[in-house]
């Protein structure tokens, strides 16, 4: 009897284990969070209840608030830091002032790109989310809900062109960033540099001067972090000074690398800096992204290629390190075209609505509100996605320098999505950082001191691979 009970118990235990395994599986898809904050709407709900009791007092509020929309929406995003410091919860309060019956939940991921890619394999990727860049343009309608036609929205927002499929817009910009270089004003002044460079040769001379006259590292590659090298790619369009550059690249079948081409100007500069041990840090394999922020503030680093999105982070680091945040300077890529410097602006994360969402209207309202009214871009020092909004203070120096800020032109219909297609097919992948990427190959050839010939060889390889894929895809 006893042994029989034991066996029954064992069988039950086995069954229980089997069940718990599956329970675990089911939960994993939804609970795999780094941090979750639920900003409850109880406060707002209370307020609306009060409104009912004393309708006369609060007619103004009631007129503004939209009580028709209700439900719970989940917003997936990449700003774990903003979840933790309560910024997101504060944003919700602003949203609930207009839509009191919508409950907003946030789920943020430290490794957003990879985690969201996994979630996209199911239907369960939140109601609103930061648009994953890996999705091909033509496939956007398979994942997201349209915000309206491109012809209507283009006059209102920047940077929509990469998120349009069949004339419909599938993502709105949360903010944007200007391309350029971060430099420490004090270090540059200490080296005796009085005016910012306007050509790449002058730029290298400036770095040389910093190496000669100060103890600072003239250029910090931040190479170990991997993604940092992709920042150089954002300079290419600025170096071209032409909003149509990428369109022409495809329609006129230009080479990426030819003498003096924008790619050559940008990556030739990279190669020259990386080739000279005096101009960059001693060991690029052990650099430290978080550690470079205070080091930059303390005047140990002269220059870095980073978008304007980095300015506020470095200013914060300067304040934390007890240094003057005003030393964080931002300059355009020094490659003047017809005597003028350019900086291309591009979007930060866009925001989309899951087409499988049960609360599409509420999610739509949230995304529109987030991009139009939340003030998120301003708070982060980013350029607002709304056309005609004021430039952030972080870019005030650009106006003094007479830098022309511009936005990349949209591709004609027959070329939409082709750039990415060629980029991946040829494995040239200008925005990538794989170990076989041409940027990584150039950097390492430079670190080894292989000289101009190695650079030329890599350029030729890139051109050959690009041309082959372009001709295959565009015909």
Partner 1 sequence: MKSQNNLLQKNKLGRIRSQQLLTVILFLLVPSILLFVFTYIPALNMVRYSFENRDQFGQNVTFCGLDNYKTVFTTPEYFASLKNSVYYLVGSFIQLGLALFLATILCSKIRGANFFKGALFFPYMINTVAVALIFRRFFQRGDGVTNTDGTLNTIITLFGGDPIKFLSTEGLANICLVFVSIWRYIGLDLVMFIGAIQSISPDIYEAADLDGANRFQVFRYIIAPGIRPIILLQMILAVKGAISVYEIPYIITGGKFDTSTFVIQTTETAFKYQKVGLAAAMTMVLFLIIIIVTIVQKLVLKEDK
Q: Which residues bind partner 1 (CB under 8 A)?
A: 4, 7-8, 10-11, 14-15, 17-18, 21, 25, 114, 117, 120-121, 134-136, 139, 142, 215-217, 220, 223-224, 226, 281-288, 291-292, 295, 300-301, 424, 427, 429, 432-437, 440, 444, 447-448
Q: How far is CA 294 from CA 81, 271, 318, 324, in A?
A: 18, 26, 6, 11
For the bound state, the minimum distance from the C-beta of residue 43 to partner 1, rounded and expressed in Å, comes to 39
For the bound state, the minimum distance from the C-beta of residue 110 to partner 1, rounded and expressed in Å, comes to 14
Rounded Cα distance, 465 and 468, in Å: 5
User: Is the four-CA dihedral 328, 329, 332, 336 of positive or negative sign?
Assistant: negative
Residue by residue, DSSP assigns 101-124 as TEEEEEEE-TTHHHHHHHHTTSS-
Q: Which is nearer to partner 1, 245 or 296 (CB)?
A: 296
Q: Which is nearer to partner 1, 15 or 319 (CB)?
A: 15
Q: Which is nearer to partner 1, 178 or 270 (CB)?
A: 270
Rounded Cα distance, 341 and 62, in Å: 50
Cα-to-chain-centroid distance, residue 471: 30
Cβ neighbour number for residue 190 with a 10 Å cutoff: 17
Q: Which is nearer to partner 1, 226 or 260 (CB)?
A: 226
Q: Which is nearer to partner 1, 360 or 424 (CB)?
A: 424
Rounded Cα distance, 62 and 147, in Å: 26
For the bound state, the minimum distance from the C-beta of residue 17 to partner 1, rounded and expressed in Å, comes to 5
Beta-sheet strands, E only, within 211-341: 217-219, 301-305, 328-331
For the bound state, the minimum distance from the C-beta of residue 344 to partner 1, rounded and expressed in Å, comes to 23
Rounded Cα distance, 88 and 37, in Å: 9
Beta-sheet strands, E only, within 147-270: 148-149, 164-165, 168-169, 172-173, 176-178, 181-184, 217-219
Rounded Cα distance, 288 and 290, in Å: 6
For the bound state, the minimum distance from the C-beta of residue 289 to partner 1, rounded and expressed in Å, comes to 11
Q: Which is nearer to partner 1, 17 or 60 (CB)?
A: 17
For the bound state, the minimum distance from the C-beta of residue 353 to partner 1, rounded and expressed in Å, comes to 17
For the bound state, the minimum distance from the C-beta of residue 444 to partner 1, rounded and expressed in Å, comes to 6
Q: Which is nearer to partner 1, 104 or 350 (CB)?
A: 350
């Amino acid at each position: 009897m006893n042994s029989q009970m034991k066996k029954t118990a064992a069988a039950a235990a086995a069954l229980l284990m089997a069940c718990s395994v599956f329970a675990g599986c089911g939960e994993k898809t939804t609970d795999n969070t780094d941090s979750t904050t639920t900003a409850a709407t109880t406060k707002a709900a209370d307020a609306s209840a009060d409104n009912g009791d004393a309708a006369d007092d609060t007619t103004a509020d009631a007129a503004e608030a939209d009580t028709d929309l209700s439900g719970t929406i989940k917003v997936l995003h990449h700003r774990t830091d903003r979840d933790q410091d309560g910024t997101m919860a504060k944003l919700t309060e602003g949203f609930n002032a207009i839509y009191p019956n919508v409950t907003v939940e946030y789920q943020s991921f430290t490794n957003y790109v990879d985690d969201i890619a996994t979630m996209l394999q199911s239907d369960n990727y939140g109601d609103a989310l930061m648009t994953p860049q890996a999705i091909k343009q033509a496939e956007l309608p398979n994942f997201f809900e349209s915000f309206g036609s491109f012809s209507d929205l283009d006059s209102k927002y920047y940077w929509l062109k990469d998120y349009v499929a069949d004339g419909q817009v599938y993502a709105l910009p949360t903010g944007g960033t200007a391309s350029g270089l971060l430099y420490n004003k004090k270090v540059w002044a200490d080296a005796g540099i009085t005016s910012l460079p306007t050509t790449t040769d002058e730029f290298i001379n400036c770095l040389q001067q910093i190496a000669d006259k100060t103890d600072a590292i003239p250029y910090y590659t931040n190479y170990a972090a991997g993604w940092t090298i992709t920042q150089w790619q954002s300079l290419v369009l600025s170096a071209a000074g032409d909003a149509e550059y990428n369109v022409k690249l495809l329609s006129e079948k230009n080479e990426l690398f030819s003498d003096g081409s924008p790619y050559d100007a940008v990556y030739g500069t990279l190669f020259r800096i990386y080739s000279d041990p005096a101009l960059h840090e001693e060991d690029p394999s052990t650099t430290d992204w978080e550690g470079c922020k205070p080091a930059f503030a303390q005047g140990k680093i002269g220059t870095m290629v980073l978008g304007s999105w980095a300015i506020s982070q470095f200013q914060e680091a300067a304040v934390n390190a007890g240094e003057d945040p005003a030393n964080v300077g931002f300059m355009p890529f020094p490659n003047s075209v017809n005597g003028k410097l350019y900086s291309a602006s591009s979007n930060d994360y866009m925001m989309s609505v899951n087409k499988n969402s049960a609360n599409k209207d509420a999610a739509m309202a949230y995304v529109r509100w987030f991009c139009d009214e939340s003030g998120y871009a301003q708070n982060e020092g980013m350029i607002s996605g709304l056309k005609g909004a004021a430039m952030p203070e972080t870019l005030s120096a650009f106006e003094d320098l007479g830098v022309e800020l511009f936005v990349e032109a949209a591709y004609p219909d027959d070329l939409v999505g082709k750039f990415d297609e060629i980029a991946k097919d040829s494995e040239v992948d200008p925005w990538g950082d794989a170990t076989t990427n041409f940027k990584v190959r150039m950097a390492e050839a430079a670190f080894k001191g292989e000289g101009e010939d190695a650079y030329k060889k890599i350029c030729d390889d890139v051109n050959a691979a690009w041309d082959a894929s372009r001709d295959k895809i565009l015909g």
